[in-house]
Structure 1
Amino acid sequence: MSHLSINNLSKTYPNGVKALDNVSIELENGMFGLLGPNGAGKSSLMRTIATLQDADTGSVTLDDINIFTQPEELRKVLGYLPQEFGVYPRISAEQLLNHLAILKGFTNGKERKEMVKYLLDKVNLYDKRNKSVKGFSGGMKQRVGIAQALIGNPKLIIVDEPTAGLDPSERNRFYNLLADVGKEVIVILSTHIVDDVRELCTKMAIMDQGQIVYQGAPQESLDELKGMVYQKIVSRDSLEEYAVNYSIISNKMVGGQPVIHILSETDPGNGFEQVRPNLEDVFFSKINTANTLV
């Protein structure tokens, strides 16, 4: 069982943007979801943990590895799938994984060949091993991305916005693959897609403006909002009026009309009906609350 400890991590960029503001998280084996809107600081946190950038203050340790003083040790046990996983043109899946395995220090040809075969099997791409990765669909490229992240039996795997742009069937295949991987290592899934976390993660954190505004299990967060979420179909021209009078946590179009969810400790009446909270309600309630506190 591995343990990742992130303590009081802060990072301000030269342009004055505070990307990380005193972030602390403790993680063990399993799938951990990091939710947040674009610009919340998720990628900055992932890049810092992956030793791609330094922090101004704070510490990160994986078991007995201090990632800032021993970055090379961390990289030996790290699998990383960035938001943009680039591939070489005119190179096959097998050649790509073989090349990346060499870069990661696997010099024994026989051992490397067996590992590449095992990884292609694991992500269900062995029959496509000789095809150019450049011609793969988005979902297939992401599976190659997970295969390269698994090179060398990592203790920690970071995946940054992995399902953006995938169609529903590709997303489901990817969920199954990640869930399988997450049984034995720490997997951090950074995303702005609530479904990703709902489907996969037993623990999660919500980030906004560089801060952690919620940490816990998805079910715990739902229990916190029980009996407090109400829904109503409204007209478009009345949206502003409702925004003034109620604490709207989300609004979306259903059948051409806005459906709003509000947060209220008592029954607001006025045609609102109580609904069971979902993870999207949790997400928007935490983000809205965080924004009002800044």
Structure 2
Amino acid sequence: MNLILNNLNKTYANGVKALDNLSLEISSGMFGLLGPNGAGKSSLMRTLSTLQEVDSGSAFLGEIDIIKNPIALRKVLGYLPQEFGVYPKITARQLLDHIAILKGVSAKKERKELVNYLLQKVNLYDKRNKEVKGFSGGMKQRIGIAQALIGNPKLIIVDEPTAGLDPGERNRFHNLLAKVANDVVVILSTHIVEDVRELCQNMAIMNHGQIICHGKPQQVIDELHNKVWEKLIHHHELESYHNTHTVISNKMVGGKPLIHVLSDEKPSEGFQQVSPTLEDVFFSKINNN
């Protein structure tokens, strides 16, 4: 089942154009959507999760018209927002049971079996009677994925799921996401480049409400082959290099800026050619858009 978006447009009352003639096709599996803050990712996620309407354009999940028939889409949608709020005094089991009722699982025995299955799937069965408010960030994200899986969704949207997680929790969450992405469309909306590189078969980069890059992670990385150079410079040289070279990024290494420059040939003395990364792709696209 494919998700097909055609010419989506959304302008808010304050004049901000969040979606600008956006078109994209996404097939089953894990799809990464990268973009800086303000790129329009959250606006697109709200549109696909039927939380807001667009001004024009179309969006289809298989035969489901998301724009004209949002109720049909909600029946096959799993959604984990950036901040997954929970009731203050509710256990993991009670939370999933409550959401299952909201999603139409009315039979008590069926709900119990479903809740137990999901808690085991996200490795939280032994925590089923603990209040969710006391869970760690990673545990809350796992219970968030569990609730998103209720109803056998065909589209799962996860918005900035690993922000604030420690490395161990991030790895556990990655493994869980990878397991659920086999037969459904999973959209991972994030600004963390490593998440997309490690998890996603396909990806897109979004900025100013538009898709500015689309493809498989390794394919878009290969487009920069032999074009990325790096050099460790002094702080006072940074502005000069920005004026004379195509600097795509800089980060501090040992207290000095390490710059990456995009060039078909060696930019100047002291530069070394390096293998491009998805981060280089991201910054080169964003800085030139």
Give the TM-score of the pair, scaled to structure 2: 0.99
- Counterpart residue number, 1:186: 185
The equivalent residue for 1:252 is 251
Aligned to 2:19: 20
Q: CA deviation at 1:275?
A: 0.1
Given the alignment of the two structures, is residue 201 of structure 1 paired with residue 174 of structure 2, yes or no?
no
Which string of whole-angstrom CA distances, capped at 9 and with x for unpartnered residues, describes residues 16-75 of structure 1?
000000111111110000000011000000000110000001000111110121111100
Q: Percent identity?
A: 69
- Residue 69 of structure 1 corresponds to which residue in structure 2? 68
Deviation of the 1:190 alpha carbon: 0.1
Separation in 2 of the partners of 1:220 and 1:177? 25
Give distance in 1, aligned partners of 2:38 and 2:121.
Answer: 33
Q: Which residue of 2 aligns with 1:146?
A: 145
Deviation at 1:257, TM superposition (A): 1.1
Alpha-carbon distance in structure 2 between the residues aligned to 1:69 and 1:13: 20
Q: 2: CA distance between counterparts of 1:123 and 1:221?
A: 33
Deviations along 1:183-203, one digit per CA (max 9) or x if unpaired, are 121000000000110110010
Give the partner amino acid of 2:62: D
Map 1:188-267 onto structure 2 (within 5 A): 188-267=187-266
The aligned residue for residue 167 of structure 2 is 168
Q: 1:75 is aligned with what amino acid? A: R
Q: Secondary structure at the match of 1:251?
A: strand
Q: Distance in 1 between matches of 2:266 and 2:257?
A: 20
What amino acid is aligned across from residue 191 of structure 1 in structure 2? T
- TM-score between the two structures when normalised by the length of structure 1: 0.98
Counterpart CA distance in 2 for 1:69 and 1:7 is 14
Residue type at the aligned position of 2:240: E
**Alignment partner of 1:86: what SS?**
coil
1:42 and 1:235 mapped to 2: Cα distance?
A: 35
Q: Which runs of 5+ in 1 are unaligned?
A: none
Pair 1:49-2:61 in alignment: no
Matches within 5 A, 1:78-93: 78-93=77-92
Aligned residues: 289
Matched residue of 2:259: which SS? strand
Aligned position for 1:38: 37
What residue number does 2:129 align with?
130
SS state at 1:172 partner: helix
Partner in structure 2 of residue 97 of structure 1: 96
Give the superposition deviation at 1:269: 2.7
User: Which residue in the other structure is 2:10 paired with?
Assistant: 11
